[in-house]
Amino acid sequence: MRARLWTIVMFMIMGLLSAGPAAWTQTTVSVPADAVGARIPDQAAVETLASADRVDEGAKESPDRDGRRFWIGTPARDAVLLGLWSKHFHSTDDYRTRHNLVGIQYQGYFLATFANSYSRQIYAVGVARTIWEKELKHDWRLDVGYKVGPMYGYREGAPNLAGFSVLPVGCIGLTYHRIGIDLNLVPGNALSVNFRIEF
């Protein structure tokens, strides 16, 4: 029995020797160089990465989560501003009520000039933002926003430094197609109305 086993082993060895080195490498398993030393991530690491991806996606879908973007708003629509009539809360007969506003809104900014309640010419520049809007029926639209920025020309009727002052204005706009009316509120001071033509 042992003699037969040794005979089989010897035949196998002789067969390998006669086949040469080329046959020895046919069954060699190749391992990619970049796989050497690679570690298989554990389940906890995989779940952590997946959770981080979900958080990132949620942040992209909800940039307003902390409410800051709501108050900053979006740029008001491009428009020409005209007119402006006002009613002061503490009115006197000396106050002017028609102000001959001429202005423009463009990409969230405004530039305007008007005659104030004391007939002084005012020049204003600043940001014009919309914080809420709703499309209504029959091509009507309602929006709420604000304007704020420096103005030059006030000597009385508003806090100023060498004629420069800052008056925030809250705005409610009602628009039909591209023609609108804005109701403006200067806190503690006055209400005003102007026309708006969007472009």
User: What is the distance between the alpha carbons of residues 82 and 193, in angstroms, rounded to a whole number?
Assistant: 10
Check the CA dihedral 174-87-83-74 and report its sign: negative
pLDDT in tens, 55-108: 454 444 444 445 567 678 999 999 999 999 999 888 666 889 999 999 999 999
Residue 5 belongs to a domain: no
The answer, as to whether pTM is greater than 0.95, is no
Residue 102 belongs to a domain: yes
Q: For the chain, what is the largest distance between any 2 Cα atoms, rounded to a whole number of angstroms?
A: 132
| Amino acid sitting at position 73 | G
CA atoms within 13 A on the CB side of 153: 16
pLDDT in tens, 3-34: 555 555 555 655 555 555 554 445 444 545 55
Range of the domain at 142: 74-198
Residue 187 belongs to a domain: yes
**Domain tally for the chain?**
1
Residue 55 belongs to a domain: no
Residue 58 belongs to a domain: no
Q: What is the pLDDT of residue 84?
A: 97
3-class state of residue 101 by DSSP? strand
CATH code where residue 106 lies: 2.40.160.20
Q: Strand ranges (DSSP E) for 44-188?
A: 74-75, 79-88, 98-106, 109-115, 121-135, 140-148, 150-152, 164-166, 169-176, 179-186
Q: What is the pLDDT of residue 179?
A: 98
Question: Residue 161: pLDDT band by 50, 70, 90 thresholds?
Answer: very high
Question: Residue 35: pLDDT band by 50, 70, 90 thresholds?
Answer: very low
Higher pLDDT, 119 or 59: 119
Please state, for a pLDDT cut of 90, what percent of the chain lies above it: 54
Residue 13 belongs to a domain: no
Residue 81 belongs to a domain: yes
3-class state of residue 13 by DSSP? helix
Residue 61 belongs to a domain: no
